[in-house]
Structure 1
Amino acid sequence: MEPVSRVVVDVTFLEMLHPPKLQAPDFLPGWHIELLKTPSVALYRKLHEWVGRNHCWWMRQVKSDLELERILREPRRSVFLLKDKDEIRGFFEFELQPHKTVNLAYFGLVPEAIGRGIGKIFLAQVVKLAWSGNPRRVTVNTCTADHARALTSYLSIGFRIVGVIREDWDIPLRLNIPIPQHLV
């Protein structure tokens, strides 16, 4: 059996049934969202490591390259980058689900972009993009391993909590993912 760190997290499921009433603020000059038309497995792994390392994003990291390739080729999945000119500053992933639902599967900034005031603008622009296809609802989940402001940010833009579950995660030690102190 592989050595693991056992982590207990509360996962909060959220939904939004109507677009936000407030207009999304514009990005700062040079900042923009870019669709990755054919994301490579290597870049996808790098994004998960870079953005999610400090928040226990391990579930994609344990998958084989073949499994990730299959995920990335799913026709109802899209991966986007947040860029400041040519520099990657974050990413997000949409999954189109049944019943006209857009799920924000992953969302985050690289550590160097956190605390610069871009997170709220980024989230507002992502939600605006999610609603551009006229879905019935937009969903997202977050957990107690995510950034401390994640849940508050989702609630402030208009998501509402639809459920919370407790999960036991066995994070393989080989991934070398630091466990946030509040989860130890």
Structure 2
Amino acid sequence: MSTLTLTTWSLEMTSPEDLVPAVVPGSEIRVQRAEVPSPEFSRFLYASVGGDIHWTDRLALTRAQWVEYLDRPGVETWVAYDRGTPAGYIELDPQDDGVVEIMYFGLLPDFRGRRIGGHLLSVGVAAAWSLAERWAERGPTRRVWVHTCSQDGPTAMDNYLRRGFKVFRTETEEKEDTPTPGPWPGAQTGAQTGP
């Protein structure tokens, strides 16, 4: 069993004025809230975005567990589309005392490196700050936070910093290096197909 050194950074934004929006990448990119909770769609986004960057914690959840999570007041999924095709998502998880965590954020592999992530993050953070407008029982947002790690994409940290987040905690640990399922469980990432 091999191990790797994993560094995790926690970042926060304490005022909506801290948000520095990214440039909109083009008219073909649209970001929209998925207003009807769908465990199948959420699982598709989670597995497709995280399949090659070690997202595994939710893969074993049952449909009932997905429904329970998604039905919590204030949990929101915002999806970026490129000409109608899902390109990535950001998931907001409201917590106590006006805190909103960006639970998951990322792009499907084919959409990375096209400036979609900065725009999606900008829309998602603005949505976190305005959460009480859609969920009055949650109360006003006072803080938005997120964590990223050394296994995430190479531009993740830079994107958070450019949007106005500040690092408030850094942790390092040794972790078992486990294979990720890739875009499809059982498939080899980067494998050649065809004759």
TM over 0.5: yes
Cα pair 1:27 1:122 within 8 Å, conserved: no
Give the Cα separation in 1 of the matches to 2:30 and 2:2.
37
Q: Which residue of 1 aligns with 2:172?
A: 166
Is 1:15 matched with 2:12? yes
Task: Give the TM-score of the pair, scaled to structure 2.
Answer: 0.77
Can you list the C-alpha shifts for 1:60-111, whole angstroms capped at 9, x where unaligned? 1122222222111112311121112311111110011111111111111111
Question: In structure 2, the residue corresponding to 1:99 is in which secondary structure?
Answer: helix
Question: Which of 114-123 and 99-108 deviates more?
Answer: 114-123
Is 1:54 matched with 2:60? no
Task: Give the TM-score of the pair, scaled to structure 1.
Answer: 0.82
Question: Which of 24-33 and 166-175 deviates more?
Answer: 166-175
Please state which structure has a larger fraction of its residues in strand: 1
Pairing 1:112-131 to 2, within 5 Å after superposition: 112-131=110-129
Is 1:156 matched with 2:162? yes
CA gap of 1:14–1:173, structure 2 versus 1, over 3 A, is closer
Cα pair 2:75 2:92 within 8 Å, conserved: yes
Once the two structures are TM-superposed, the CA of residue 165 in structure 1 deviates from its matched residue by 2.2
Question: In structure 1, the residue corresponding to 2:60 is in which secondary structure?
Answer: coil
Give the Cα separation in 2 of the matches to 1:106 and 1:31.
20
Residue 143 of structure 2: which of 123, 129, 137 is its match? 137
Question: In structure 1, the residue corresponding to 2:15 is in which secondary structure?
Answer: coil
Q: Which residue of 1 aligns with 2:136?
A: none
Unaligned 5+ segments in structure 2 are: 132-139, 190-195
- Give the count of matched residue pairs: 176
Aligned sequence identity (%)? 28
Instruction: Give the partner amino acid of 1:151.
Output: M
RMSD: 2.7
